[in-house]
DNA sequence: CGTCAGGTCTCTA
DNA sequence: TAGAGACCTGAC
């Protein structure tokens, strides 16, 4: 897509960018390393770089950035090439999605790193978001590379597989990962030894990619769908966590519908872009508490 | 003190 | 092949 770009010292500004609201992007459940600053902007780390994102009027301001990185990393990371107007148009044919989109109009699906997402979502299983974030930060602080200090905080890259493959389960547990430590250790060994090429999985079909990902222990149906949607361009992946299950039961299916059938329903209904539907629904459900604790 | 959270693994019938 | 329990950890 074409954008009107302005470059200032250490900043890139995109003017009149629709379909981009920092709060929606960073709090719709897809990422763990972006945090809100006092001024309402968000700072995060990805690809070994620290960036701040702020919305003013209808402009998006990327700070601590240069044009080269913007073009080579962040343009892709923020999915700026995609026509969200078209996605919204297609999904809005459904009444519930239309409401969910109105609510989370600024959501974008980030294109994150498969290895980082693999570990992040292994940690997410039966866990809480603040604790997931804490564990990921701890792993990065201890075993990642120091990048820089920004707005009074120190930033570290997410550790590569060969930084983790020689750690003991206890080392990993010390980062607050709990019972998932053994899964992380195992994944690190598998990836660093190239037993599985995590970066090649995106070339498989959604179905085969899912099978491949589930070879990692600690990776089941939900986590594999997250990895595919958030880091492998699988737009039809539809991760079903507790929130999505609740919202689907509330609006679309019977309460006792099996997860596999909910997924099939969604993939049929949302024709190839179920993943985007999932993001709008997740944000809608979690922010409004839809279906929470009926009993 | 129990309960529970972005699920998955293990064990049993 | 499906369903019940267990599971690190810490916030309530």
Q: What is the CATH number of the domain that holds A279?
A: 1.10.1670.10
Residue A217: inside a domain: yes
Please check whether strand B approaches the CB of A112 to within 7 Å: no
Please check whether strand B approaches the CB of A77 to within 7 Å: no
Do A227 and A246 fall into the same domain?
Answer: no
Task: Report the nucleotide nearest the CA of residue A173, measured to C1'.
Answer: C8
Residue A207: inside a domain: yes
Do A226 and A267 fall into the same domain?
Answer: no
User: Strand B and chain A: which residues 14-43 have CB closer than 7 Å?
Assistant: 29-32
CA gap A183, A18 in Å, rounded: 40
Residue of A141, A150, A148, A149 lying closest to A52 (CA atoms): A150
Give the CA A271 to C1' C2 distance in Å. Answer: 29
CA gap A236, A36 in Å, rounded: 29
Other beta carbons within 10 angstroms of residue A151's beta carbon come to 14
Do A137 and A222 fall into the same domain?
Answer: yes
CATH number of A125's domain: 1.10.340.30
Do A122 and A227 fall into the same domain?
Answer: yes
Please check whether strand C approaches the CB of A146 to within 7 Å: no
Q: Can you tell me which residue has the tokens 């809608």?
A: A284
Do A225 and A184 fall into the same domain?
Answer: yes
CA gap A103, A284 in Å, rounded: 7
Task: Report the nucleotide nearest the CA of residue A179, measured to C1'.
Answer: C8
Tokens encoding A58: 């209808």
Do A129 and A212 fall into the same domain?
Answer: yes
Q: Which residues contact A194 (CB under 8 A, 6 or more apart)?
A: none
Domain end point (choices A231, A256, A274): A231
DSSP secondary structure, A233-269, as one string: --TT-----HHHHHHHHHHTS-TT--HHHHHHHHHHH
CA gap A111, A266 in Å, rounded: 22
Give the CA A158 to C1' C9 distance in Å. Answer: 22
Give the CA A233 to C1' B3 distance in Å. Answer: 37
pLDDT, residue A294, reads: 39
Tokens encoding A143: 């075993």
Please check whether strand B approaches the CB of A57 to within 7 Å: no
Task: Report the nucleotide nearest the CA of residue A223, measured to C1'.
Answer: B7
Domain end point (choices A183, A207, A231): A231
Domain end point (choices A212, A231, A250): A231
Residue A236: inside a domain: no
pLDDT, residue A189, reads: 98
CA gap A109, A233 in Å, rounded: 9
Residue of A75, A30, A84, A29 lying closest to A51 (CA atoms): A75
Total number of domains constituting chain A:
3
Give the single-character DSSP code of A127. -
CATH number of A73's domain: 3.30.310.260
pLDDT of A152-185, one tens digit each? 999 999 999 999 999 999 999 999 999 999 999 9
pLDDT, residue A1, reads: 83
Do A118 and A214 fall into the same domain?
Answer: yes
Do A75 and A139 fall into the same domain?
Answer: no
Give the CA A222 to C1' C1 distance in Å. Answer: 19
Do A119 and A162 fall into the same domain?
Answer: yes
For residue A269, what are the domain limits? 242-288
Smallest CA–C1' distance to C7, residue: A179
Please check whether strand B approaches the CB of A106 to within 7 Å: no
Q: Is there a contact between A137 and A153 (Cβ–Cβ < 8 Å)? A: no
Residue A293: inside a domain: no
Q: Can you tell me which residue has the tokens 């995109």?
A: A14
Please check whether strand C approaches the CB of A173 to within 7 Å: yes
Do A50 and A73 fall into the same domain?
Answer: yes
- CA–CA distances in Å: residue A48 to residues A69, A75, A81, A193: 11, 15, 22, 22
Residue A104: inside a domain: no
Low-confidence stretches of chain A (pLDDT beneath 70): 292-295
Give the CA A258 to C1' B12 distance in Å. Answer: 21
pLDDT, residue A293, reads: 52
Please check whether strand B approaches the CB of A124 to within 7 Å: yes
Residue A73: inside a domain: yes
Do A130 and A223 fall into the same domain?
Answer: yes
Task: Report the nucleotide nearest the CA of residue A241, measured to C1'.
Answer: B6
DSSP secondary structure, A37-80, as one string: -TTS-EEEEETTEEEEEEEETTEEEEES--HHHIIIIIHHHTTT
Q: Can you tell me which residue has the tokens 């149906």?
A: A221
What's the longest Cα–Cα distance across chain A? 56
- CA–CA distances in Å: residue A33 to residues A137, A218, A257, A274, A292: 8, 21, 34, 24, 26
Q: Which residues contact A177 (CB under 8 A, 6 or more apart)?
A: A123, A135, A139, A184
Task: Report the nucleotide nearest the CA of residue A127, measured to C1'.
Answer: B5
CA gap A37, A224 in Å, rounded: 31
Tokens encoding A19: 């379909």
Do A204 and A119 fall into the same domain?
Answer: yes
Residue A87: inside a domain: no
């Amino acid at each position: 897509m074409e954008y009107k770009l302005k470059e200032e010292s250490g900043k890139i500004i995109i003017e009149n960018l629709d379909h981009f609201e920092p709060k929606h992007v960073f709090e719709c459940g897809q990422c763990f390393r972006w945090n809100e600053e006092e001024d309402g902007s968000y700072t995060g780390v990805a690809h070994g770089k620290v960036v701040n994102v702020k919305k003013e009027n209808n402009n998006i301001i990327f700070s601590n950035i240069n044009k080269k990185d913007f073009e080579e990393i962040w343009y892709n990371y923020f999915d700026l090439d995609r026509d969200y107007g078209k996605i919204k148009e297609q999904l809005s044919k459904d009444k519930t999605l239309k409401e969910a989109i109105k609510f989370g109009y600024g959501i974008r699906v980030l294109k994150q790193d498969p290895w980082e997402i693999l570990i992040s979502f292994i940690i997410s299983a039966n866990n809480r978001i603040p604790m997931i974030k804490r564990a990921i930060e701890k792993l990065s602080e201890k075993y990642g590379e120091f990048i820089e200090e920004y707005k009074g905080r120190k930033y570290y890259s997410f550790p590569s597989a060969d930084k983790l493959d020689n750690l003991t389960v206890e080392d990993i547990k010390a980062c607050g990962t709990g019972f998932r430590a053994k899964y992380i250790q195992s994944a690190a060994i598998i990836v660093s030894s190239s037993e599985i090429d995590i970066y090649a999985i995106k070339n498989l079909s959604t179905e085969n990619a899912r099978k491949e990902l589930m070879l990692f222990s600690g990776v089941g149906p939900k986590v594999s769908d997250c990895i595919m949607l958030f880091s492998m361009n699988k737009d039809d992946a539809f991760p079903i966590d507790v929130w999505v299950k609740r919202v689907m039961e509330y609006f679309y299916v019977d309460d006792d519908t099996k997860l596999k059938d909910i997924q099939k329903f969604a993939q049929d209904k949302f024709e190839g872009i179920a993943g985007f539907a999932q993001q709008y629904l997740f944000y809608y459900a979690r922010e409004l508490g839809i279906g929470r604790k009926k009993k």
